[in-house]
Each structure stands twice: as C-alpha cells, then as structure tokens.
A and B are shown apart, each in its own frame.
Chain A
C-alpha cells in the first residue's frame, strides 16, 4: 500500500499536469489551408447534396425533440462541409462563400457537441439554415428546397428552416406545434 501511494500520488500529479486538451474541431483541421499548391475545384450543386441530407436528418431529429440524434446529424454535417471548404467559386463570391461555409461548419460542430442542450442546438439551427440558404444560392441547389418560416421563435424575431417538402414538422418547437411554419421562398433545384 505504501509503495503504491508513493508511486500513485506523484504519478497523478504528473498526469494532471501533462494531459493535453485536444478536441477535434475546425481550427485543427481546415483542409483548405493545406492545399495551397493544387488548383481548387469549383463548388457546385452536387457538393450540397450530402449537406442537405445531413441537415434534413437534423431538422427531423429536432422536431422530435431528440438532442442525441440531432447531435449525430450535426456530426454528419462536418465532413461534407469540410469538403466544401476545399472548393471555390468564381470571382468575388469566393470570400463570402468561404466565410459562410466556415460558419456553417462551426454551427454543425456546436450542434454535434450539445446533445444535452436542445435549446442551444436550435439556436445554431437558425444560423445554420441561413448559411445553407446562402450556400445554395451561391453554388446552386441539387434539389428544390422550401424556406419555411415560423415567426414565434426567438421572442418574435422568427427563424426559418429548409425542407424538401412544403409542409414539415417544426424543428424549433417540436412536431406538436403544427401551426407555425409558412413557406416564404422556394429555392429552385439546378443540379
């Protein structure tokens, strides 16, 4: 016992002092900054397909008040968004495109990391939806998407989400609330 303590206490101190604190996140793994010699490929509607799929899983999970599944869907958004960041668009839209894709990635990571906090996930959904709508307008969308808006969210400020259907369960309030969601825009598909 004595020998164990003699070893254990200093070992614990050392362990505490030396343990690094690394989390995988967008700051450690931005592919775009590594590919400086290769020509970036143009981003197109097809690149948004996996993003839209994961996003649909996310809105579905949130409408079911399922934070765990929402976190999983958030995690599934990370890889396609990172892939999107390795691509570019023509001319002056490039800076905006890169900034919005990066913002979307951050929102996805936060959703992934907050399985126990649906309120926080829904906050990020608001901004992720804006990001995705902007990306779709820049690269084109692979399918028709509807912007569905609910004015009750955020103390009356409102928020929207994107859906492949005109009527959809509300990810901000849960599927019990069926009377808040109005199609305000249709994003045409051109993929």
Chain B
C-alpha cells in the first residue's frame, strides 16, 4: 500500500508539469476573432455584457480567464475539455463567422440552455460562484437574447 501511495504521489507531481497550451489571447487568435459577439452588439446592456463574460466566455470564447486552481492536474484536462467542447458548440469570439441562420439557432439555444439550467455547466458554477445565474438573471439574459432580430 505504501508503494502505491508513493507512486501515486510521484505521478501526481509529475503530471502537474503536463500543461496544455492556454486558451488566451495571442496574435494568431486575435486575427481569428472574426467578430466578437459583444463587440458586434454595442447596444448590449452593461449588466448583460458582464454576465456573459463571467458565466459564458471562459468556455465559449478564445479568451479564458484562468484562475490558479484551473492549472492543478488532472483538473486542468477537464478544464480544457470543457473549453474545447464549449468552443465547438459556440465560440463567441468568432460570432460573425457564423451564417445568420446559425446565429439565430445559437441565440435560441443559448436562451433555452440557461432557462433549463443546462448552462452554465453545474460543474463550472460549483467552483465559480460568481458565474451562477439566478432566475432573475436568467430571465434578463434570455429576454435580451430572444429580442435580437433576424
């Protein structure tokens, strides 16, 4: 048992050094930001902008704001997995790269996902308390999203 514990401890320390690249602003990524969602909607109420950045942008953009605990392995793999899957479904940094039909669908899905509580991910809000959306905030955001014209 002691040997197993020692090996586990060594592996745990070793895996800390295995850090994938961060999802942060870099010259290449900034060029690829073919139109950020918030920038493309200058009329967005300040409160909603702030809620989107805190509750959505970490997984659904090219600019994750990392906290120190995000880097602790093997948790870091989970964080990057969330980001990878999040960006695949919706990348708010590349909003204007979507055809209007897809934008319309994404807006509808965004509203529904926060209304049903599927988003933000419970695993995310468990750690990021400031990202939690109470029913008032959900209503505020989804009403605004649904009000965008197509």
Give chain B's interface secondary structure class: helix
Cβ contacts under 8 Å, A131 to chain B: 101
24 contacts between A and B (CB under 8 A): A2-B1, A2-B3, A2-B4, A9-B7, A9-B8, A10-B7, A10-B11, A13-B11, A13-B12, A13-B15, A14-B11, A16-B74, A17-B15, A17-B74, A100-B101, A103-B99, A103-B101, A103-B102, A107-B105, A123-B112, A126-B105, A127-B101, A127-B102, A127-B105
**A residues contacting the other copy or chain, number (CB 8 A):** 24
A97 to B5, CA, bound (A): 59
A43 to B8, CA, bound (A): 58
A99 within 8 A of B: yes
A35 within 8 A of B: no
Cβ contacts under 8 Å, B18 to chain A: 17
A21 within 8 A of B: yes
A126 to B108, CA, bound (A): 12
User: Smallest CB–CB gap between B149 and chain A, Å?
Assistant: 12
Binary CB contact string for chain B from 93 to 109 against chain A (1 if under 8 A, 0 otherwise): 00000010110110011
B residues sitting closer than 8 Å to A (CB atoms) are 1, 3-4, 7-8, 11-12, 15, 18, 73-74, 77, 81, 84, 88, 99, 101-102, 104-105, 108-109, 112
Binary CB contact string for chain A from 69 to 94 against chain B (1 if under 8 A, 0 otherwise): 00000000000000000000000000
| A1-55 CB contacts (< 8 Å) to partner B | 2, 5-6, 9-10, 13-14, 16-17, 21, 25, 27
A residues sitting closer than 8 Å to B (CB atoms) are 2, 5-6, 9-10, 13-14, 16-17, 21, 25, 27, 99-100, 103, 106-107, 123-124, 126-127, 130-131, 154
